[in-house]
Amino acid sequence: MYGLSAEDLRIQDRARTFADELIPFEVAAELNGGDLPKDVVAGHKARAIELGLFATNMPKVLGGGGCTSLQQVLVQEQAGRVTNALAWVAATPPSWLPSVATPYQLDKFVRPTVRGDREECYAITEEGAGSDVDGIVATARRDGDHYVLDGEKWHVTSFNSADYAFFQAKLVGGEQHGEHAMFIVDLPSPGVTVVRTPAYSHTISHHHPIVRFSAVQVPATHLVGAEGDGMSFAYEWFRFERIMVAARCLGGAQRLVDEMTAFAKEREVQGRPIASLGAIQGMLADSLTELFAARSLVYETARGIDAGADTKVQHAQCSMAKLYASEMAGRVADRAVQVFGGRGYMRENVAERLFRELRVERIWEGTSEVQRAIVADQMIKRGPRALA
Ligand SMILES: Cc1cc2nc3c(=O)[nH]c(=O)nc-3n(C[C@H](O)[C@H](O)[C@H](O)COP(=O)(O)OP(=O)(O)OC[C@H]3O[C@@H](n4cnc5c(N)ncnc54)[C@H](O)[C@@H]3O)c2cc1C
């Protein structure tokens, strides 16, 4: 199905096996604030590496999987079947970095991250700048052979486990005054402090604290690319992450379709399985139909990237994929809770967990409203036929 090659099917199969191995740990994680024993997590990470599911997006010359976009989608789709972010151990380091990293940055950050020895986090969003990244007020000022960074960043995912952060700021002084620049900050570093760690809807071990950077000094060698480049990295990363969000939404929806179908066949009311009731059948059928449509869209978008489609077209198509797949998964999760009835409201039930977890897929990496604006903008500039 979907015209997958033998190699695509092999990697999909390995990813499915891995997801199936993680699923039994979900409820323990859910009931323990998202945490599993450290040795268990280390074992999961080692298994991801052993199965060739770690850093699938990174070039082979750097030790990564060198997978096609479609293969990466297949892996992330399986990861999406697992709740509580347990599959995040199969990390995807920043794929935009190798082409701009200096030899020093490749050795210090990229290669160790591809090996699984280091972990990054992203400090870009601020209280007054989320959808509008250009609204950031964090600053970077050159001072001799280093930069001084200041700013308060929100929702810094994985700050509690990361050992370096990408920090985006606007330059103060110099020829590129007011332009964006991206820096790598080692963690911990003097001047980097957690303001607070808010609770979020999902139950995962990765926290999203608000982090204060106060007069943090980083060597000039930690500037990524050139001064003024900051926004271009963000756009490249958005493209990658948006289609991978879409892929994980496919996996979440697939899990729910499987589980709600099994439950509907098994649960009997007044002597008949609820699967025989028209109202329940409608929810099952709508869910699978929308999943099929979303999967076709996401796979086709990945194939376009692999075939070298125009970057702006890719950008709009990744937005369409994220928009449709995340909204689809939200509808499927809502139906799944309904099909499970009272059980669907219990934290030990996968529908309850995915109902909460999938909600953020419509928010992070650009909200649904932002995706619509991107698509419409490209439709107006290029014409609808250029995109679909
Ligand atoms: C769990 C979680 C983890 C995150 N992790 C990270 C991270 O690791 N690093 C990081 O830097 N950021 C992270 N983020 C931030 C995330 O990317 C932003 O929350 C997201 O981009 C939305 O920005 P915002 O929250 O400021 O919403 P706002 O921009 O305040 O949006 C509010 C509302 O206005 C709408 N809106 C805004 N602009 C437009 C527009 N142009 N057209 C139409 N409607 C619009 C939005 O759609 C939304 O409905 C994370 C967020 C969450 C919730």
**CA neighbor of 26 nearest in space, from 300, 328, 325, 349:** 349
Residue at 241: amino acid letter: E
Rounded to whole angstroms, how far apart are CA atoms 369 and 129?
15
What pLDDT does 234 receive?
Answer: 81
Token reading at 315: 């950008």
Which helix (DSSP H) or strand (DSSP E) does residue 168 occupy? strand 164-172
Query: Given ligand 1 and candidates 364, 365, 371, 375, which is best to mutate, with the most ligand atoms within 8 Å of its CB?
Result: 364
CB 105 within 8 A of CB 218: no
Distance 170 CA to ligand 1 centre (A): 19
360 lines ligand 1 (CB under 6 A): yes
pLDDT (tens digit, 0 to 9) for every residue of the chain, 388 residues total? 789 999 999 999 999 999 999 999 999 999 999 999 999 999 999 999 999 999 999 999 999 999 999 999 999 999 999 999 999 999 999 999 999 999 999 999 999 999 999 999 999 999 999 999 999 999 999 999 999 999 999 999 999 999 999 999 999 999 999 999 999 999 999 999 999 999 999 999 999 999 999 999 999 999 999 999 988 888 888 889 999 999 999 999 999 999 999 999 999 999 999 999 999 999 999 999 999 999 999 999 999 999 999 999 999 999 999 999 999 999 999 999 999 999 999 999 999 999 999 999 999 999 999 999 999 999 999 999 999 9
201 lines ligand 1 (CB under 6 A): no
The residue whose CA has the least distance to atom 32 of ligand 1 is 131
Among all chains, which residue has been given the structure tokens 């090659």? 5
Residue at 386: amino acid letter: A
Task: Give the phi and the psi of residue 166 in degrees, each rounded to 5.
Answer: -85, 125
Q: How far is CA 67 from CA 7, 85, 153, 194, 266, in A?
A: 10, 22, 32, 36, 40
What pLDDT does 53 receive?
Answer: 98
Q: How wide is the angle at C-alpha 144 spanned by C-alphas 152 and 164, nearest 5°?
A: 40
What pLDDT does 140 receive?
Answer: 98
| Whole-structure pTM value | 0.98
Among all chains, which residue has been given the structure tokens 């950008």? 315
258 contact partners, CB below 8 Å, separation of at least 6: none
The residue whose CA has the least distance to atom 38 of ligand 1 is 131
